[in-house]
């Protein structure tokens, strides 16, 4: 006989399961006379600064959908991980939460090995403010030796708009500049929450240092990175072209991987001469 299909509210089941996993005593609540493990509903509500009645209704599937602010409070109250918080929003609102800014300090060794395995294609990891935090050897030889640059100069926007060599390096410099500014605007709107001061400081700096950036930023263009062709005038290889694609990093939606595949067999052969 087939098992009966469960009609239990998935959100309520998830909330009950997560509060049952918490140690009441460790969180300052009395452990006496508890019939079930974990926190009581009113204790979760107290930690989340919402009414116990409203929280109870939420577990029971009553009272309508909670706001993003309430779900965020409950996520903190239940000490959810990032993936658990995302799951809570998907159950409660039908969408993922807004991405929160995280200070990027390099990448995991596993992710670095992924970059290294992509050779001979240059590949890098960037933040929403276009700081490069990881790269492979091909990127060092083709794009820039990021390891030799000061940390503050490992920024694609600063290199394009504040380094005069970028105009000679990028065959279609104005098109590249406009694309980068529009994609940067989309990035910081999508994943810049929590770093507003840093974003505004970078915009102010670039506006002051580069009239071109100031003009392009004022145009209010916006676009995703997506994919396309990047044409370079490399000091050793000469004219070389790459097909670029951007990918999200699972578990780190504030980071993006950009891979530059040589566009033709001739471009691939040229890049390989640098890697020997």
Rounded to whole angstroms, the Cα distance separating 272 from 114 reads: 19
Of residues 94 and 47, the one with the higher pLDDT is 47
- d(Cα 63, Cα 160) in Å, to the nearest integer? 52
Query: Band of the pLDDT at 5, cuts 50, 70, 90?
Result: very low
Q: Which of 85-94, 118-127, 203-212 has the lowest mean pLDDT?
A: 85-94
With bands split at pLDDT 50, 70 and 90, how would you rate the model's confidence at 3?
A: very low
- pLDDT band for position 101 (50/70/90)? low
- CATH architecture, range 109-275: 2-Layer Sandwich (3.30)
pLDDT higher than 80, residue 102: no
Give the pLDDT confidence of 201-251 residue by residue, as tens digits: 999 999 999 999 999 999 999 888 878 899 999 999 999 999 999 998 877
pLDDT value at position 95? 83
- Quote the pLDDT of residue 196: 81
Handedness of CA 222, 225, 226, 229 (dihedral sign): positive
Angle 232-233-237 from CA coordinates, rounded to 5°: 105
- Please give the mean pLDDT across all residues of the chain: 89
Q: Please state which of the ranges 91-100, 106-115, 145-154, 215-224 shows the lowest mean pLDDT.
A: 91-100
Q: Which of the two residues, 181 and 252, has the higher pLDDT score?
A: 181
Strands in 227-234's sheet, in edge-to-edge order, are 132-135, 123-126, 252-262, 238-249, 227-234
> Does the pLDDT at position 106 exceed 80?
no
**234 CB-near residues (< 8 Å, 6+ apart):** 142, 169, 240
124 DSSP β-pair partners: 135, 258
Calculate what percentage of the chain has a pLDDT beyond 90: 64
Give CA–CA dist 112/83, Å, rounded. 22
Q: Would you say 39 and 15 are in contact if contact means Cβ atoms under 8 Å apart?
A: no
Task: Give yes or no for a contact between 52 and 27, defined as CB atoms under 8 angstroms apart.
Answer: no
Instruction: Report the DSSP pairing between strands 123-126 and 132-135.
Output: antiparallel
Cβ contact 259:121 at 8 Å: yes
Summarize the confidence of residues 167-191 as an average pLDDT.
91
**Buried b or exposed e, range 165-203, using 16+ CB within 10 angstroms:** ebeebbbeeeebbbbbbbbbbebbeebbbebeebbeebb
User: Domain spanning 10-93: which superfamily?
Assistant: lambda repressor-like DNA-binding domains (1.10.260.40)
- pTM of the predicted structure, to 2 decimals: 0.71
| Alpha carbons 35 and 21: distance in angstroms, whole number | 14
Q: Tell me the three state secondary structure of residue 181.
A: helix
* 202-208 long-range Cβ contacts below 8 angstroms, 24+ apart: 202/129, 202/155, 202/157, 206/157, 206/158, 206/161, 206/162
**Residue ranges, CATH 3.30.450.180, the chain:** 109-275
| Rounded Cα distance, 192 and 101, in Å | 6
Residues forming CATH 1.10.260.40 domain(s) in the chain = 10-93
Residue with more model confidence, 180 or 106: 180
Helices of type H across the chain:
10-20, 41-48, 52-60, 68-77, 82-93, 109-117, 137-142, 156-162, 165-169, 173-191, 196-209, 211-218, 265-275
DSSP state of 131: B
């Amino acid at each position: 006989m087939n098992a009966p299909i469960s009609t239990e509210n998935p959100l309520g089941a998830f909330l009950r399961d997560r509060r049952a996993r918490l140690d009441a005593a460790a969180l300052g609540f009395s452990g006496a006379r508890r019939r079930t493990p974990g926190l009581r509903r009113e204790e979760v509500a107290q930690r989340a600064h919402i009414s116990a009645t409203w929280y109870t209704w939420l577990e029971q599937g009553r009272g309508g959908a909670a706001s993003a602010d309430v779900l965020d409070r409950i996520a903190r109250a239940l000490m959810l991980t990032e993936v658990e918080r995302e799951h809570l929003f998907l159950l409660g609102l039908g969408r993922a939460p807004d991405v929160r800014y995280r200070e990027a300090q390099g990448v995991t060794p596993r992710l670095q090995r992924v970059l290294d395995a992509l050779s001979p294609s240059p590949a890098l990891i960037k933040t929403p403010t276009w700081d490069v935090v990881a790269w492979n050897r091909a990127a060092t030889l083709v794009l820039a030796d990021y390891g030799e640059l000061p940390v503050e100069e490992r920024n694609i926007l600063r290199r394009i708009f504040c380094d005069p060599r970028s105009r000679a390096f990028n065959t279609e410099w104005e098109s590249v500049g406009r694309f980068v500014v529009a994609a940067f605007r989309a990035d910081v709107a999508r994943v810049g929450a929590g770093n507003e001061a840093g974003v505004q400081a970078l915009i102010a700096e670039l506006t002051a240092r580069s009239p071109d950036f100031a003009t392009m930023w004022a145009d209010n263009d916006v676009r995703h990175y997506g994919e396309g062709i990047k044409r370079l005038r490399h000091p050793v290889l000469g004219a070389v072209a790459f097909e670029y694609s951007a990918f999200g990093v699972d578990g780190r939606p504030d980071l993006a991987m950009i891979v530059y595949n040589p566009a033709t067999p001739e471009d691939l052969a040229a890049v390989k001469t640098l890697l020997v």
